[in-house]
Amino acid sequence: MNVTNYQKELDIILEKLEKDRQTGLLDGGEKKRLFLHSCCAPCSSYVLEYLCSHFHITVFYFNPNISSSAEYHKRVEEQMRLIASYNQEMEAGTRRGYPIDFVEGDYDPQRFYEVAKGYEYCPEGGERCFRCFDLRLRETAKRAKETDADFFCTTLTISPLKNAGKLNEIGMALAAVYGVPWLPSDFKKRNGYKRSIELSAEYGLYRQNYCGCGYSLHNAGK
């Protein structure tokens, strides 16, 4: 069975973009715009470090799967704090890259419960999670189209517990629907997940041990 190497696919895209800039195919060496769905600050830490010199990134924080309002707001504040730190470092010249923008989506857990209905007892990582992926990536693709982004993507593939193949499958299907190219990824590759742990410690980021929904909270033993 052939298994797609999404990291290799990403490498090819990044190499082509860099070549186009160097040969003048991109006017003035401009950067393409990436609309990046983020599940949390720790997962985004490596992804932003990796991609901020390749793209003008807008982080889209859209996670209605988080059941607790307090937990949601704690995570979104950490996301904003990390982006502010990265931007300050870029301005100071201690980090290479382009300033990162931030957009927060609507927080409405009912949207998650609607897609999860009938799948409440599915095992973690199964069909309920796939429907949640589709919910979040569909809104990301829609917003990417509205903002004329060149690509959309998600940080979710950095997690060893998330099905990168399924995430890329959903992303590519939505790209066909909304007409915005999907940026393939498997960010856990090349020690991406390990690097995210290092960055989380460096910036003192709050790291949660469950995805956010009440079902995953139960499975985490809380």
Task: Report the CATH number that the domain containing residue 165 is assigned in CATH.
Answer: 3.40.50.620
In a domain, 16, yes or no: no
Range of the structural domain that residue 178 is part of:
32-219
In a domain, 105, yes or no: yes
For 104-124, the pLDDT digits (tens) are 999 999 999 999 999 988 888
Measure CA 41 to chain center: 10
Among the ranges given (3-17, 111-125, 171-185, 205-219), the one the predictor scored with the smallest mean pLDDT = 205-219
Kindly state the tokens that stand for 109. 């857990």
Residues 6+ apart with CB under 8 A from 77: none
The count of structural domains within the chain is 1
In a domain, 5, yes or no: no
In a domain, 25, yes or no: no
For 153-187, the pLDDT digits (tens) are 999 999 999 999 999 999 999 999 999 999 999 99
For 78-108, the pLDDT digits (tens) are 999 999 999 999 999 999 999 999 999 999 9
For 138, half-sphere exposure in the C-beta direction (CA atoms, 13 angstrom radius) is 10
In a domain, 94, yes or no: yes
Q: What is the pLDDT of residue 112?
A: 96
130: left (phi over 0), alpha (psi -120 to 50) or beta: alpha
Measure CA 159 to chain center: 11
